[in-house]
A and B are shown apart, each in its own frame.
Chain A
Amino acid sequence: MRRLLLLVAAGILSATSGVRAAADGYEDARRGMLEAVRRLVADTRVETGRAALAPEVMRALEAVPRHEFVPSGLVARAYENRPLPIGHGQTISQPYIVALMTDLLEAGPDRVVLEVGTGSGYQAAVLAELGARVYSVEIIPPLAESAKRRLDRLGYRDVAVRLGDGYYGWPEHAPFDAIIVTAAAGHVPPPLVEQLAPGARMVIPVGPRFAVQHLLLIEKGHEEGEVFTRNILPVRFVPLTGDH
């Protein structure tokens, strides 16, 4: 009962003041999750080229109540460092992957970010915690609806969710300082490349659900038509040609 009251209190607090890291009974779980992310980041520093993530990213991760973004039956596992199913064949990504992608996007205060594939809304919430203005498009009607309601309820006013086809981006708000696409088919939609501001970045996880094979980082050059990509492996991997 006390926990319930606390939750309600936290809900009111977050809705009114925007202080979202408030006491909700999950602080320890979140810290545990952060620790797991930190360890994995350190472990994969060779693959990702970074020994630690930006402190703001970690703070954002600590602020978002991930348990609010998973189906009710999975709340107990919400802070495990693993992806979880959210219905409709979609997943909420592994916290480590969310953290890494957020870091790669270099999204900060007042940056305009496009997200293609809202899913549960968790990634959008993390970006919003960083102060970014997030425009998120979801193609599956019930997911778009529930993510919109959830983000509203949690007070994420800087996230706009729209039901629709993300292929054409959101031209009204282009150009974007960062774009994140939650699932890749065999090609990157040309309209998205077009809506990326010069010098801006796009991140796409490549691979089936539950098994990200690599992160694709797309950087748009300052010269006309210049587009570069980088492949980032999200796991520690024994080097290709061993010296044994």
Chain B
Amino acid sequence: MSKPRASASLYLSVALVSAAALACEVLLTRLLAIVHWHHFAYLVISLALLGFGASGAFLSLAGSWCAARFRACWVANAAGFGFGAPLCFALAQALPFNALEVAWSARQWGWLALLFLCLALPFFACANCIALCFLRYRERIAAVYAADLAGAGLGAAGVIGWLYVSPPEAVLQGLAALGMAAAIPVGWGGGRALRGACAALGLAAAFLALAPPLVPLAPSQFKGLSQALEVDGARVSATRTSPLGVLSVVENERVPVRHAPGLSLASTSAIAPQVGVYTDAEHLRVITRFDGDLAPLRYLAESTSALPYHAVRPARVLVLGAGGGAGVLQALEAGAEEVHAVELDPEMVALVREDFADYAGDLYRHPRVRVHVAEAREHLRASSGRYDLIQVAALDSFGAAAAGLHASSERYLYTVEAVRAALERLRPGGALAFTRWVKVPPRDGVKLFATLIAALDERGVSDPGRHLAWIRGWSTATLMVRGEAWKAAEIDAIRSFARTRSFDLVHVPGVAREEANRFNRLDRPWFFEAAAALLGPDRERFFERYKFHVEPASDDRPHFSRFVKWAHLPELLRLQRQGGIGLLELGYPVLVATLGVSLLAGALLILAPLAFLRAPSPRAPDRAGVCAYFLCIGFAFLAIEIAFIQKAMLLLGAPVLAVAVVLSAFLVSAGVGSLAVQRSAAQGLPVRAVAVAIAGLSGLYLWGLPAFVEAVATLPLGPRAALVAVMIFPLGVLMGMPFPAGLRRLAAAAAPWTPWAWGINGCASVSGAVASTLLAVHFGFSAVVLLAAGAYLLAGALERVSFPRSG
């Protein structure tokens, strides 16, 4: 076979396909989060990426046949992606999968499996395109891979930017068009039939790009938005979209929205008229009608969250997670002089400030209100203001988990470090308050209480119990902490607030057992007992013995909403059979299930090709060695990437921004590294040296990160993001080298094996991403980085075993 020459148009096509594939991954996660729930979005998309592994297995078998018809196969696969992405999504959406029913019906697991097979198809097609290039241009493998990475990097950043201007269903169509367009530069060089196909694809792409969305999103009938729209008289009166989520405003003149979480059972107040705002068809927040008269807002003083206004009488209030403004109105109603409202989603602020400005009484331009569009933790770090009350309205805030790639539920607002930072922002006598849904059996309230205690411990407070308060109603609980001990008058105020509203005390200094279970009775005063144990000498023993994982979250292990312990998996299974799984957080079991399935499927996809992979020469490399090498670097790349995304969230605030910056910085710089491999001598550069450098550099970053975060905290966002990208760059360049270096060696010794290695890399990436998230839950992100560094070192050591010098 003559050596085909790779042209610039080929690299362009590769970059286009990769950009479309990565963008599609991000986008499908968003789309599924809207149609179903984000846990399942994560699961399905992780597994759909096994399409890459499947491509490896497929081309191990059919590689030479396909490579001989390179242009036609390329066009077919690019078209396959272009048509497949929207069609497969439409099909997936039409499947009668109901995430809420998985606990009840084995059939649902079948639908779920179909769902992910459906969505794996476009990724399979894309992966085929890239692997075909490896087979055909074996001398230019590293350059092809460089184009692949660079394209993916631009796709990651591009799709997030795109989601700011277009709704997700329109972006899907745009990506399909992009995939089709990628067929043209390669196909045009072929025969007449191929040119014809290219022309048709060009037309189809143009149509898709210009046409309005052909596949409308249809959220599950069990999501909050769908249910609200079933009610007589309901309509969606406004929609706003961004990568943070799709906001849908529901108005209903006949049956008004009435959202008053935690309202006292003793209340006789009417709820002021509201419109509902759903994020991704779930998570209700409201915009309240306001005309400057505070009298109709009386009900806001009758929820547990009003407690701090009675205990400390704050003048200057910071509301974190302001949403549609309920917490801000509560502060105004309580007589606060100055209210600072922090909200992550600019579209939410725009709804209140623009679309519903009249309705909301121009609340966000009220003379006593100032709005900041920022992530809460970031705002605490960057602003210099001090407050009498910092109010965390968790009921209103929208989970970061709904956004972005590989999202899980890191919440940097519920860590010991975050509580300490917030305490620093309080004026003398000021308090920090959290309000959360009450969950029975008790878990997140207990964990939050433990977190507050740990923060007080770190400040050197000798008797934390004197600085804490905790009350609960039947639906919400409010916890307060402050730097000073409570005074007798304040304790009296807390007691009387709770008693007059039928709330129970969980903790105030001097609380009696019989005050803890009066109005909202549990078979035992579980909350009181937990609080007492946490404040007593046996805290560690309590953590160990308590059914749920309630140890404080930290910045290194910020998974606040993980409560399940490993030991409970058998009980979980039993609960599932009883339909009781709803009692527990789904995130963790879903993560474990995803890992299990990806490992099984990965093993199958890696082992199956071995049946027909023949060694082309006696000097061919050792298969086990090759496999181990690519497994190591596939896992390690993803592990480091994910750890950096998580760390960057702390630095950049909004999760989507962290994903966009970190992902594109890593991928583009890795592309540069791959290009360097292409330029290097035939035997390639020593992977061992590269591995040592990666391990050293990532270790250095890990060690220096806290200081770095502190140093750049006050910089504006732009320069901060640029600094993160610059920091990642050298590491990314190094991490871009081992894969193409190994693949090039493999191509020289056993060319038909390259798709197999490509497949291993794909499977390792999928399992690696899930495994890193799980490992981080248990051991923290630092451990994940260390493990990844170890994997790189192992790959370096394997280099000589896996690829014996053939010269």
Contact = CB atoms under 8 A, between A and B. Distances in A.
Interface of A: 40, 49, 82-83, 85, 87-89, 94, 139-141, 163, 165, 167, 184-190, 193-194, 206-214, 216, 218, 225, 227-231, 233-242
B111 interface: no
B583 A242 contact: no
Nearest to B265: A227
Given A140-B230, A242-B547, A208 B266 contact: no
Contacts of A225: 266
Contacts of A141: 232
Given A194-B268, A239-B547, A186 B261 contact: yes
A191 to B, nearest CB: 9
Give chain B's interface secondary structure class: loop
A210 B103 contact: yes
A241 B547 contact: yes
Given A186-B259, A236-B580, 13 more contacts: A85-B101, A87-B221, A89-B227, A186-B261, A186-B437, A209-B222, A213-B439, A229-B519, A231-B522, A235-B578, A238-B568, A240-B441, A242-B547
A210 B582 contact: yes
A210 to B, nearest CB: 4
Nearest to A167: B258
Contacts of A214: 440
Contacts of A83: 104, 579
Given A141-B232, A210-B104, A231-B474, A190 B269 contact: yes
B113 interface: no
Contacts, number: 147
Contacts of B218: none
A165 B258 CA distance: 12
12 contacts: A40-B578, A85-B98, A139-B232, A185-B261, A193-B265, A208-B100, A225-B266, A230-B522, A238-B571, A240-B548, A241-B546, A242-B547
B267 interface: yes
Interface in B519-534: 519-523, 526
Contacts of A210: 98, 100-101, 103-104, 222, 579, 582
Contact of B579 (A82, A85, A140, A240): A82
A88 B230 contact: yes
Nearest to B96: A85
B104 A227 contact: no
Interface string B207-235: 00000000000000111001100111000
A163 B232 CA distance: 9
B279 interface: no
Nearest to B570: A238
B575 interface: yes
B258 A235 contact: no
Contact of A238 (B261, B268, B474, B547): B547
B519 A241 contact: no
B579 A211 contact: yes
Nearest to B254: A165
Contact of B581 (A40, A89, A211): A211
A186 B547 contact: no
A188 B545 CA distance: 35
A163 B103 CA distance: 32
A233 B440 contact: yes
Nearest to B475: A186
Q: For B105, B265, B475, B521, which residue has the most chain A Cβ atoms within 10 angstroms?
A: B265
Contacts of A230: 520-522
Contacts of B476: 186
A152 to B, nearest CB: 21
B582 A213 contact: yes
B546 A240 contact: yes
Contacts of A189: 258
A191 B137 CA distance: 75
A82 to B, nearest CB: 5
A241 B98 CA distance: 34
Contacts of B583: 211, 213, 233, 235, 237
Contacts of A165: 254-255
Nearest to B227: A89
Contacts of A85: 98, 101, 221
B267 A190 contact: yes
Interface string B71-99: 00000000000000000000000000010
Given A82-B104, A240-B546, A242-B545, A228 B519 contact: yes
B571 to A, nearest CB: 6
A-B residue pairs, 9 tightest by C-beta: A211-B582, A186-B261, A235-B580, A187-B263, A89-B221, A210-B100, A227-B265, A229-B474, A89-B227
A36 to B, nearest CB: 11
Nearest to A77: B105
A224 B701 CA distance: 64
Nearest to A44: B578
A140 B352 CA distance: 29
Nearest to B105: A82
B579 A231 contact: no
B181 interface: no
B260 interface: yes
Contacts of B104: 82-83, 210
